[in-house]
Copies of this chain bind each other. A is one copy, B any other.
Amino acid sequence: MNATPERPDDSFHVFDTTLRDGAQREGINLSVADKLTIARQLDEFGVGFIEGGWPGAVPRDTEFFRRAVDEVDFRHAQLVAFGSTRKAGVAVEEDAQVAALLEAKAPVICLVAKSHDRHVELALRTTLDENLAMVRDTVSYLSGQGRRVFVDCEHFFDGFKANPDYAKSVVRTAAEAGADVVVLCDTNGGMLPAGVHAVVSEVIADTGARIGMHAQDDTGCAVANTLAAVDAGATHVQCTANGYGERVGNANLFPVVAALELKYDRRVLPPGALREMTRISHAIAEVVNLAPSTHQPYVGVSAFAHKAGLHASAIKVDPDLYQHTDPERVGNTMRMLVSDMAGRASVELKGKELGVDLGGDRELVGRVVERIKQAELRGYTYEAADASFELLLREEVARRPLRYFRTESWRAITEYRPDGTHAIEATVKLWAKGERIIATAEGNGPVNALDRALRVALERIHRELAGFELVDYKVRILEGTHGSQSTTRVLVTTSDGRTEWSTVGVGDNIIAASWQALVDAYTFGLLRAGVAADEA
């Protein structure tokens, strides 16, 4: 089991179920390696409990527990195995599913129990009394084996509405049998905060059990429902990173802990952990292979982004007037957005952020605003392409195009051959330093082949290019919904091994748009490497 050097005290539990309930989200499919990586990230963030899955029922989860117990040195978290109460009519010692929970060797077991009378009868097909016996037997058996036991009361709030006495009797039975925490689950997610507060208050008053909350986000209130339960006396919250979960999702771990730490002034994470929140949220999104939500509270790239010209000018006076918390406290940063709604003040602030001194030059700022407007009309967006924006800004400051080469022509061929193989090839013809350069390269796709051909062409002249790598590539088709033809926008992120920069390209087709973004990417990289630009 785990050593406990920095474990938070037990009076309040931050219980993460990203790996179990979060994995139910449409579009998520985690390998064992993914689960181990996320478990390490959650432990680093400092949650108290990590529910890893259902060993025995899901083969990948069995494997996860085997490896996690051996390979992961948890500093903060305890590993939790999820499972079910014993089957109806079977002795707990002879229930294979229960035995598998012990074999997982997690110090904590979280058992799901039915607490809604209709679910007992229709889904479980047993009697209300037998369900109570199943809870009692399983909890006391697993406690007797030295495990700490929590009980998730599935469909608790709907069950409470239908038959409050029976729902509460499940809580009482679990607590009396030795469950440390009984968790009230809003499994269908239909609750609102006022209702949660009332039910949790009544359950605590009537049963005396230690209560936890598990909220789903079907009404858009999962974070608020979790906090309402805490207000009513719950001391254990079940959440998932980025709110991943079935249907709409689960209570989002990040705004829940941020509210507890920043708004309630309640310490629920190890010291310093909150400042890692934005990074960890994005890292987990990376592993589950979903784009991080740009508009997620606290951690989204837009969460502290200001667009309105009205605000922008006032933010110059005092940023604290316009943000509910200092973004640095959650590891995020304030950003000024460049858009044609923004006035001069936004462009000036953005220039400052990029280290380009516009020196209050009204005419210069006016030219920049005008160029942005024109570009946005054609489908460009600079909000996610800081490097393309900085190039635009520096060109206006220099009053000339900044470039290292001139494109004569290029061609990309993608072919599927009768033998079932693909042949992909690109040729570029450029002028640089007075020289005409022709280069051809193969690639695993047309954009990759163009990228390689461009690099081959320029590398002889600019050695700095050797270290550049295209690390992310996004395509957006801008529908011509309003009568116009559709255009393609490409965002490219390039790395030089130390930093990354993003550029944008727009065109009638994906290859042309990609070419533009690549040209900006190489130009920006060379500019930043201190290479003097010429007129090519």
Q: In this assembly, does A169 line the interface, its C-beta being within 8 Å of a C-beta of chain B?
A: no
Known: A259-B219, A376-B29, A409-B416. A445 touches B297 (CB 8 A): no
A288-317 interface code vs B (CB 8 A; 1 in, 0 out): 010000111110101111111001001001
Cβ B247 vs Cβ A305 within 8 A: yes
Cβ B510 vs Cβ A307 within 8 A: no
Residues of B within 8 A of A445 (CB): 488, 508-512
Cβ B259 vs Cβ A192 within 8 A: yes
Cβ A414 vs Cβ B511 within 8 A: yes
Cβ A509 vs Cβ B448 within 8 A: yes
Our pick among B296, B324, B481 for the contact of A188 (Cβ within 8 Å) is: B324
**Interface 9-mer from A115-123, A172-180, A351-359, A495-503:** A115-123
Q: In this assembly, does A474 line the interface, its C-beta being within 8 Å of a C-beta of chain B?
A: yes
Say how many copies of this protein the assembly contains. Answer: 2
- Min CB gap A30→B, angstroms: 10
* A-side interface residues, number (CB < 8 Å): 114
Residues of B within 8 A of A192 (CB): 224, 227, 259, 263
Cβ B193 vs Cβ A193 within 8 A: yes
Q: In this assembly, does A4 line the interface, its C-beta being within 8 Å of a C-beta of chain B?
A: no
Q: In this assembly, does A228 line the interface, its C-beta being within 8 Å of a C-beta of chain B?
A: yes
- Min CB gap A65→B, angstroms: 17
Q: How far, in angstroms, from A139 to B189 measured CA to CA in the complex? A: 43
Cβ B295 vs Cβ A29 within 8 A: no
**Interface 9-mer from A66-74, A126-134, A248-256, A388-396:** A248-256
26 contacts between A and B (CB under 8 A): A24-B341, A26-B339, A29-B340, A31-B482, A33-B482, A58-B341, A122-B317, A123-B321, A188-B322, A193-B193, A193-B224, A219-B258, A221-B223, A287-B481, A289-B479, A289-B481, A408-B418, A412-B413, A416-B512, A445-B510, A445-B511, A446-B509, A446-B511, A447-B510, A472-B477, A475-B510
- Kindly list 4 other residue pairs between chains A and B, CB separation below 8 angstroms, not including A27-B381, A286-B481: A219-B263, A413-B413, A414-B512, A422-B508
